[in-house]
Amino acid sequence: MTPISTRALHQLLDQSASRFPDKVVVEEPESGSIRYGELARLSDRVRDRLQQMSVKLGDRVGICLRKSADAVASLFGIMKEGAAYVPVDPTAAASRNAFIFCNCAVKAVIVEARLAEPMRLELSVVS
């Protein structure tokens, strides 16, 4: 029987990035692929930005992104900061997603650029 790892998921990403930086980890049909090293660097950038926004251990971070390498990097960045992620469907109405984010008391939101303005407007109405 294989022993269960006690490492956090983001620690396993960093370990894989160290061992296999040039191996493809995420492939997007129309956008190409991203390698372990790139994914680790992107997730570190997300973590650093969340720190600048005063996100702390246990805080919630909303995420409104289509399935993509950016979404994967965001999830790992949130985990690296010790926060929890609150995912919503980017195809749902901005009002619904804003309600979920407010109801979950998210500290920050990561959202696709094309959805940012409708989300900002809805969040200002809901909060």
Give the CATH number, domain containing residue 44.
3.40.50.980
Give the per-residue pLDDT at 127.
Answer: 61
Tell me whether residue 66 is in a domain: yes
Token representation of residue 50: 């969340």
Q: Closest by alpha carbon to 98, among 77, 81, 115?
A: 115
| Predicted local distance difference test score (pLDDT) of residue 7 | 79
Asked, for residue 84, whether it belongs to a domain, the answer is yes
Within a domain: 72:
yes
pLDDT in tens, the chain (127 residues): 777 777 777 877 888 888 998 999 999 888 889 999 999 999 999 999 999 999 999 999 999 999 999 999 999 999 999 999 999 999 999 999 999 999 999 999 999 999 999 888 888 876 6
Question: Where in the sequence is the domain holding 68, given as residue range(s)?
Answer: 9-126
Q: Is residue 2 part of a domain?
A: no
The structural domain count of the chain equals 1
What's the pLDDT at 32?
86
Q: Is residue 4 part of a domain?
A: no
